[in-house]
Structure 1
Amino acid sequence: MFVDKAKIFVKGGDGGDGIISFRREKYVENGGPAGGDGGNGGDLVFQVDEGLRTLMDFRYQKHFKAQRGERGKVKSMHGASADDTIVRIPPGTVIIDDDTGETIADMTRHGQKVVVAKGGRGGRGNCRFATPSNPAPYIAENGEEGQERWIVLELKVMADVGLVGFPSVGKSTLLSVVSGAKPKIGAYHFTTLSPNLGVVDVGDGRSFVMADLPGLIEGAHEGVGLGHEFLRHVERTRVIVHVVDMSGSEGRDPFDDWKKINEELKLYNAKLEDRPQIIAAGKMDMPDAADQLELFREQLLEECYDNYTIMPISSLTKQGIQELLYKAADVLDETADVVEVEEVKEVEERKVYTFESKKEAAFTIRRDNEEYVVESEEIKRYMKRFNLTSYDAVMRFARMLRKMGVDDELRKRGAKDGDVVRIEDYSFEFFEGTDYNPYD
């Protein structure tokens, strides 16, 4: 089964917790703090593996999480940082943030890497919080949570030559004749429901990868007939071989078919209009095909489409097949890699949240009956990092609130001694004084 789209959840590893510890050695009185820092969490990294061809693995596993950092140790020893977790993806995968729709990276080269979820910073141990006024702090940080998000993976087949055209014009048969690929072939529309790849040996030392892309129909650029699912693969091909049923066996006009498919390509992506294109006039072994070909040439000239090369072929009799391969190889040699690939964009750098600066952080205060409710993302992150059951941690938290200006704003709102202030799941009693923190 070919899978070319998947939605998965990714999470960087959480940082390891810092610990509270003190020196306990014989003949050493009043040993100081000795709690070590936690290690950093591992990043979740996507890496291109040219041996993969589909997103099948992501059909069954949809959650990926990196390892967390090791907890801090005694004697001020740091915990080990976690190794990055590598997830392998096929070349041609586009990584998109599901919430914002932003393209994180476009992965095309073997070995290419991108970090999709940063690991969290390790928490600090109590040896980091010692000060002259508090030489034995009973406080340590929890590790920072790793970044998490839902992302969408879209696979766009990487091929040198792409076969396009209406259903049942002979694309799969042509691929089976010129390569070792074994696509499904049938006398009905949409026999091919997913791209098939084959390596073509031209015979003169040259070779290229050819893709048999599912048949297109009118309205494909708007998603008709799974149009978007099919068209995304055309974007990667350097040369388009447009297969046209020159016999008109389906009762359609070959020139009208050719124009309609080209219009769908242009409406989907305007850059495809300038992509090198070879017209493969197929089924030339059928009755009236030669007459239809002459008419097709005349119609091209009448509408000033004289810059296209037409190669008459028959997959049944092998007529013109070798000439088509030579022509495709020649065009490839003359064509640079015109497929534009977005630059890989690293996800945002690991944030280090510190509240020691005097820079004001954003917060809001509202009344909820008799309580004052303080809301702030900065404060929320701080409370996740510290265990507020410790006296030292509460005192540090109070100092942080003062420096942010929360105390002053509460006074302006009319808060008095004894009023209840709620922050997240904690309730505090407001104290009017300004000298209650012994660690300033």
Structure 2
Amino acid sequence: MVDFLELREQFPILGQEIHGHPLVYFDSAATAQKPQRVIDAESKFYETINAGVHRGAHELAARSTVAFEEARAKVAKLVGANAEEGQEEIVVTAGATAGLNLLATAFGNASLGRGGDAAKRFALKPGDEIVVSKAEHHSVLLPFQELAYRTGATLKWFDLTDDGRIRSDTADEVITNRTKIVAITHISNVTGAITDIAPIVKRAHEVGAIFILDACQSVPHLKLDFHKMDVDFAAWSAHKMYGPTGVGFLYGKRELLEALPPASFGGSMVELAWMDKPAQYMEPPARFEAGTQPVAQVVAAGVAADWMREIGMENVEAHEKAITAELLKLNDVPGFRVLGPVENKDRIGTVSFDVEGVHPHDVGQFFDAQGIAVRVGHHCAQPVHRHFGLFASSRASTGVYNTVEEAKQVVETAGKVRPFFEV
């Protein structure tokens, strides 16, 4: 049995006051706070074994390399990926955005003939289709929209239900024999809705398409096994899974990573380089990790992955479900409208809401004055806001450190917003 109140004490940032009130942090969908263990891990790396990895023959370089690769394996275990040497399926990136752009760029390079025969499966041409959805974060939408422009492919998308869920039931219609890539969010960062990806993955593979999952909002909240889910690629960021900023991960099936051409070029990713002929690149994951890696951050992210596994993602789901039930009562506050499913089913505790007559920025400032941190704006997902007839919203999103009592405080504070602004 996990004592989440005791677990909360591991987060030093939560002990402070904001505007004279104890901090209540409900912005984990943007970035999660860090337990002391993760903070210490990054600091200890710099204090004890800081060195470049896969480069030097001296002792610090060896220790740093071991710590870096052990962290990669810990992250792989969290999401059900291969971690064995020579079969690694986790690529270190600068974040989910970087991982998704890596894929779009690599597919574009394949479309130019780079990567040889093995990479032809990733190549696009006019008449091919790329499928996304209206629920996508801009980090999914824009790289693949640009890839369509560069290659002449057609961009298509899944529509949404009234409450903002991706219409998985239309997979057979949206995904056709011309579809080459399907890139879909697992959980919307606006509605909190969990996408039923099984029929989409099944249909994508029936037509030979590559399926890419945006797992930014699911890795911190759900127990995942990418092998069982049969996704081809998945991207997420460490800072949303209680790890450091500036680092993320890209999962790829090993056989696909071996066929995919590189997207960035420089040190550490090349085996042999000549002046008069193309270089011979390293095997994955090194092929996709050009330059100096964020080693300290990766090591700390590995600690975060172990920490999450120790808690148990099933326990995280159960804990956050109770908090979500309370947050959904925002829909009952006069003048408030929750964007997304209002039933506490197949969703997480990311609850965006519109307040009639009050701008989201004013809503956010009112909450902040009470010591409550929520997000305001379009959350880098403008099409889904347009689906609800809006340009922006306010958003409360849960982490393991939140409590039902804090969620009740959010709902109670919400009831004071419109009277304060005399709406």
TM-score where L is the length of structure 1: 0.22
- Higher relative contact order (Cα pairs below 8 Å, separated by 6+ residues): 2
Q: Which of the two has higher C-alpha Rg?
A: 1
TM-score where L is the length of structure 2: 0.23
More helix by share: 2
